[in-house]
Amino acid sequence: CRKGVEIRPSLFGGGQEGGVRSGTENVPAIVGFARAAELIADPKVSIQTIPMRHMRDRILKEVPCRIPGAHVTGSMSHRLPNSASFWFEGVNGKTLAIALDLRGFCVSAGSACSERSSNPSHVLLALGLKPEEALGSLRVSLGRQTRKLEIEKFLSELQRTVEQLRKKRV
């Protein structure tokens, strides 16, 4: 910290870290973070994300084509290799996530930091979505074990589920 800059403590107690942050360091988390940094620097890991990126891109392209009123959230290219996010006109994201869960797909509504809130995600609002659009949001994450066949099943079920939910609203 530069001389003359005052930093207020975030946690009070034992005075560790020069009195700025008290408490015992989370050694397992530090070790885990270091291992994650090693893995991400490994070129083999980067190569392993290529199939995941292709599946993610298929989802990003197919959902708006198959489902009228489906919109990609965020950039098509500047995103994690395993994540896709959408908002659906006339559909509640939490209801959609529950319906897909009942069909065997683990997805989330909104953004990760607002999953448990009934309010629109502040992250999605900051991206420029209106509150009703943010509440119609769905987040899809892929894993290394995700297969192309699962993507096809997901796309079909998502389309069918959105159609069913929209019919129920009318």
Residue written as token pair 């009934």: 118
**How far apart, in whole angstroms, are the C-alpha atoms of residue 164 and residue 44?**
42
**How far apart, in whole angstroms, are the C-alpha atoms of residue 1 and residue 157?**
53
Burial (CB count <10 Å: 0-12, 13-18, 19+), residue 109: buried
**How far apart, in whole angstroms, are the C-alpha atoms of residue 29 and residue 154?**
34
Active site residue 113: yes
**How far apart, in whole angstroms, are the C-alpha atoms of residue 55 and residue 63?**
12
**How far apart, in whole angstroms, are the C-alpha atoms of residue 109 and residue 87?**
9
| Structure tokens, 1 | 């910290």
**How far apart, in whole angstroms, are the C-alpha atoms of residue 120 and residue 128?**
12
Q: Which of 1, 65, 106, 113 is catalytic?
A: 113
Catalytic amino acids? 113
